[in-house]
Amino acid sequence: MNQKKERLRKLWVSLLGVCVLGLAVYAADSLGWIDNYIRGIFIQCCFAIIMVTSLNLVMGYLGQIALGHAGFMAVGAYTSALVTKAIGLGIKAGAILPMSNVMQFFIGLLCGAVAAALFGLVVGIPALRLRGDYLAIITLGFGEIIRVIIQNLAFAGGKGLANGQAGQALVGILKMNDIYVIFGVTAVCVAIMLAFVRSKFGRAIIAIREDDIASSSAGLNITFYKVLTFTVSAFFAGIAGAIYAHRGLGTLQHSDFTFLKSTEYVIMVVLGGMGSMTGSVVAAIILSVIPEALRAFSQYRMLIYSVILVLMMIFRPIGLFGNYEFSLYELLRGKLTGKPPRSGRSAAKGGA
Amino acid sequence: MPETILRASHLGITFGGLKAVHNFEIDIKEGELVGLIGPNGAGKTTVFNLFTGVYKPTEGTFYLGKQLMNGKKTHEIVAAGIARTFQNIRLFKKMTVMENVLIAFTKDIRYGLPGSILRTAAFWKEEADIRDKAMDLLSVFNLQDKADWNAGNLPYGQQRKLEIARALATNAKMLLLDEPAAGMNPTETAELLACINTIRRKFNISILLIEHDMSLVMNICERIVVIDYGEIIAQGLPEEISHDPKVIAAYLGE
Ligand SMILES: Nc1ncnc2c1ncn2[C@@H]1O[C@H](COP(=O)(O)OP(=O)(O)O)[C@@H](O)[C@H]1O
Ligand SMILES: [Mg+2]
């Protein structure tokens, strides 16, 4: 069947694309270009990509403003860090069979993701009854609540609920800064989210964004799809948190997850284009690298973001990509066969 | 003896003191086409909103077949078999014509999260199947060539048709059409009438049709219910209705 062939070809092209990127990293690594500094920026790009693409599910596809994404990242970060710490202690005590760091990291990452998803579910059920500004405010509130609770947990480095003071950092976290592992995790996360939006789920979510009354009249259980999206989004924020926690510094502070962090990711989503996964990836990379490149002005970062955002709203309010999806397959197809590339989504189709 | 599809008794709703619909009774048989008419603000759309769970009735009951539908959520009512269109068209404007219909098939799709992430054979098969089904449905409405268009770019008459196609895709037994001819020119209206007749033949579906324009309703409806100020003032065959003094008064007094 023709469609089947095209599907396979698409899959191969995507895999090829990912492999080429991986090889580029490998080449840079072999040439000794990747020192600890570059490694840090690379990892920062990776978790930013996961944060922004997952937030885009809620903001771009579901069309709801959520300002508490860093809260779910915090849940993932702390859960995974505590799990890998526990595994480490267990191995030392001989209670658990020794395993590689990567294995420990993956167990922590999965636990962090599931914990964040649970929080997403618990927050999403009441919060998603609201919409627009109200949802923005309540998610902001929940994000801060999560952070303040963590701040006061004794086992998370804080001084305990009784003291209620600013906590210390959680220290002695496993290091997992292997760029290939992190690159692989990021690629898989983005692929899963792309698959999610290109299924009945993505279709349903976009329909709900377009018109919720019409959606329920077409048989969609709106609450289900909204809460599901929120939960999936939190799940991936948890993964990003796990990467963040193990990025190699060994410490974790609740102040890494303030609502300003959430706002940063919101800005990246808007910059990349609401409803474009590839746009989110590009925006996450740009806005992670720029502040590093302009290290000297680092305290002006939020200012720079704001200016970029204002300029964006004036000159290109739909974001860099709008809802266009970059596709290597379509690009190659265009170049090789001379056919014009088809548009990424429906944006350009139709019209009289 | 044809079976009853939709039955309402003493159905009503009050909005803060205003009885928008009161004591509404109807009994629609399998395959029947019933008209619901009345002056502006009479409560026709509110009746539809009650039947589709947009509003919860404050009095009375309604049944689909033998199933009590009171208090059910909209998507549960759709799953049971009542579908509708809207007086002011509600399409997913930025989605394609095809996608608009696909949405209505969503509730029948069996693949879940694992299937869509792993892109299993079952996933592709189901996606292909519903696309075929959607295409068949679109061709009933002569929309097959515009499957890739954004719904918002369709001409007005075709948007109305697409909305009906989407409602039918839910596999409804009972179709509620809210002023489908509103804003149409005479040619489009004639096409719509032909379309409704085709649907009845092909899908053996019962239809409750709201129409502001009396002459149109007289043409196609087997039975007509007239409401004014939320209450039924007359019902019967089209020719009986057109001579009913209460109906004439209601329309003249508008
Ligand atoms: N949600 C609501 N709240 C208050 N009043 C409403 C609501 N929905 C409808 N109504 C009132 O009910 C009456 C019937 O409206 P409607 O059913 O839309 O009339 P129509 O017969 O023209 O479709 C109107 O007086 C309208 O103002
Ligand atoms: Mg009306």
Query: At A1, is the pLDDT very low, low, confident or very high (cuts 50, 70, 90)?
Result: low
**Are A221 and A106 contacting, i.e. CB atoms less than 8 angstroms apart?**
no
C-alpha to C-alpha distance for A245 and A145, rounded to whole angstroms: 20
Query: At B169, is the pLDDT very low, low, confident or very high (cuts 50, 70, 90)?
Result: very high
Q: Give A228-269 pLDDT, tens digit per residue.
A: 999 999 999 999 999 999 998 888 888 889 988 999 999 999
Question: Rounded mean pLDDT of A185-200?
Answer: 95
Q: Closest by alpha carbon to B198, among B113, B139, B134, B123?
A: B139
Task: Kindly give the pairing relationship between strand B82-84 and strand B174-178.
Answer: parallel
Q: What per-residue confidence (pLDDT) applies to A339?
A: 56
Domain residue spans in chain B?
A: 4-252
Q: Closest by alpha carbon to A283, among A255, A253, A260, A305?
A: A305
C-alpha to C-alpha distance for B142 and A337, rounded to whole angstroms: 33
C-alpha to C-alpha distance for B144 and A172, rounded to whole angstroms: 63
Domain B4-252 grouped into CATH 3.60.20.10: no
**B41 C-alpha vs ligand 1 centroid, how far in Å?**
6
Backbone φ and ψ of B88, nearest 5°: -105, 110
Q: What per-residue confidence (pLDDT) applies to A163?
A: 46
The ipTM estimated for the assembled molecules is 0.93
- A 10 A CB-CB count for B232 gives 17
Query: At A346, is the pLDDT very low, low, confident or very high (cuts 50, 70, 90)?
Result: very low
Query: At B182, is the pLDDT very low, low, confident or very high (cuts 50, 70, 90)?
Result: confident
Question: Facing residues of B176 across strands?
Answer: B84, B208
Q: Closest chain A residue to B150 measured between Cα atoms?
A: A350
Question: Rounded mean pLDDT of A40-51?
Answer: 94
Which residue shows structure tokens 């903001």? A59
% of residues, chain A, pLDDT over 70? 91
Question: Rounded mean pLDDT of B3-22?
Answer: 94
**B14 C-alpha vs ligand 1 centroid, how far in Å?**
10
Would the CB atoms of A350 and B166 count as touching at under 8 Å?
A: no
Question: Facing residues of B83 across strands?
Answer: B175
Question: Rounded mean pLDDT of A194-212?
Answer: 95
pLDDT exceeds 60 at position A350: no
**Are A251 and A170 contacting, i.e. CB atoms less than 8 angstroms apart?**
yes
Helix H or strand E segment including B227 = strand B223-228
Task: Kindly give the pairing relationship between strand B223-228 and strand B231-236.
Answer: antiparallel
Across A131-135, A323-327, B10-14, B78-82, least confident range: A323-327
**B186 C-alpha vs ligand 1 centroid, how far in Å?**
28
% of residues, chain A, pLDDT over 90? 47
Could you tell me if B95 lies within 8 Å of chain A, comparing CB atoms?
A: yes
Q: Give B36-59 pLDDT, tens digit per residue.
A: 999 889 999 999 999 999 999 999
The residue whose CB lies within 8 Å of the most ligand 1 atoms, and thus the one to mutate among B46, B48, B210, is B46
Would the CB atoms of A219 and B92 count as touching at under 8 Å?
A: no
Question: Rounded mean pLDDT of A196-217?
Answer: 96
Q: What per-residue confidence (pLDDT) applies to A218?
A: 97
Tell me which ligand sits closest to the C-alpha of residue B230.
1
Chain A residues 167-206 within an 8 A CB cutoff of chain B: 192, 195-196, 198-201, 203-204, 206
Q: Give B96-128 pLDDT, tens digit per residue.
A: 999 999 999 999 999 999 999 999 999 999 999
Q: Closest by alpha carbon to A237, among A5, A15, A101, A67?
A: A67
Chain A residues 118-137 within an 8 A CB cutoff of chain B: none
Q: What per-residue confidence (pLDDT) applies to A345?
A: 42
From atom 23 of ligand 1, which residue's Cα is the shortest distance away?
Answer: B45
Instruction: Return the DSSP state at B145.
Output: G
**B43 C-alpha vs ligand 1 centroid, how far in Å?**
6
Residue with the larger pLDDT of the pair B23 and A321: B23
DSSP B64-88: ETTEE-TT--HHHHHHHTEEE--SS
Could you tell me if B84 lies within 8 Å of chain A, comparing CB atoms?
A: yes
Q: Closest chain A residue to B101 measured between Cα atoms?
A: A218
SS3 track for A58-122 = HHHHCCCCCCCHHHHHHHHHHHHHHHHHHHHHHHHHCCCCCCCHHHHHHHHHHHHHHHHHHHHHH
pLDDT exceeds 50 at position B196: yes
Would the CB atoms of B103 and A203 count as touching at under 8 Å?
A: yes
pLDDT exceeds 60 at position A347: no
Helix H or strand E segment including A194 = helix A179-197
Q: What per-residue confidence (pLDDT) applies to A316?
A: 82
Would the CB atoms of A217 and B128 count as touching at under 8 Å?
A: no
pLDDT exceeds 80 at position A63: yes
Cα torsion at B239, B240, B241, B244 (round to 10°)? 130
**B85 C-alpha vs ligand 2 centroid, how far in Å?**
11
Would the CB atoms of A195 and B117 count as touching at under 8 Å?
A: yes
pLDDT exceeds 60 at position A352: no
Residue B92's SS3 state is coil
Mean residue pLDDT of chain A comes to: 85
Q: Closest by alpha carbon to A312, among A286, A289, A277?
A: A286
Across A213-227, A317-331, B121-135, least confident range: A317-331
**Are A250 and A173 contacting, i.e. CB atoms less than 8 angstroms apart?**
yes
Q: Give the pocket of ligand 1 (CB within 6 Å).
A: B 15, 18, 20, 38, 40-46
Q: Closest by alpha carbon to B155, among A350, A343, A209?
A: A350
**Are B2 and B29 contacting, i.e. CB atoms less than 8 angstroms apart?**
yes
Q: In one letter, which amino acid is A59?
A: M
Q: Give A333-342 pLDDT, tens digit per residue.
A: 776 666 554 4
Would the CB atoms of A350 and B96 count as touching at under 8 Å?
A: yes
Tell me which ligand sits closest to the C-alpha of residue B20.
1
From atom 16 of ligand 1, which residue's Cα is the shortest distance away?
Answer: B43
Residue with the larger pLDDT of the pair A325 and A233: A233
Residue with the larger pLDDT of the pair A240 and A24: A240
Q: What per-residue confidence (pLDDT) applies to A169?
A: 78
Residue A245 CA from chain centroid, whole number: 14
- A 10 A CB-CB count for B243 gives 10
Ligand 1 atom closest to residue B48's alpha carbon, by position in its atom list: 17
A7, A211, A350 ranked by CB distance to B150: nearest? A350
Cα torsion at B212, B217, B222, B228 (round to 10°)? 20
pLDDT exceeds 50 at position A344: no
Cα torsion at B147, A60, A137, A306 (round to 10°)? -140
**Are A174 and A88 contacting, i.e. CB atoms less than 8 angstroms apart?**
yes
Q: In angstroms, what CA-CA distances link B61 with A40, A52, B22, B66, B70? A: 65, 48, 12, 12, 6
Question: Rounded mean pLDDT of A125-146?
Answer: 88
Which residue shows structure tokens 């265009």? A334
Question: Facing residues of B15 across strands?
Answer: B18
Q: What per-residue confidence (pLDDT) applies to B249?
A: 84
- Cα radius of gyration (chain B): 19
**pTM for the full model?**
0.91
Q: What per-residue confidence (pLDDT) applies to A14?
A: 80
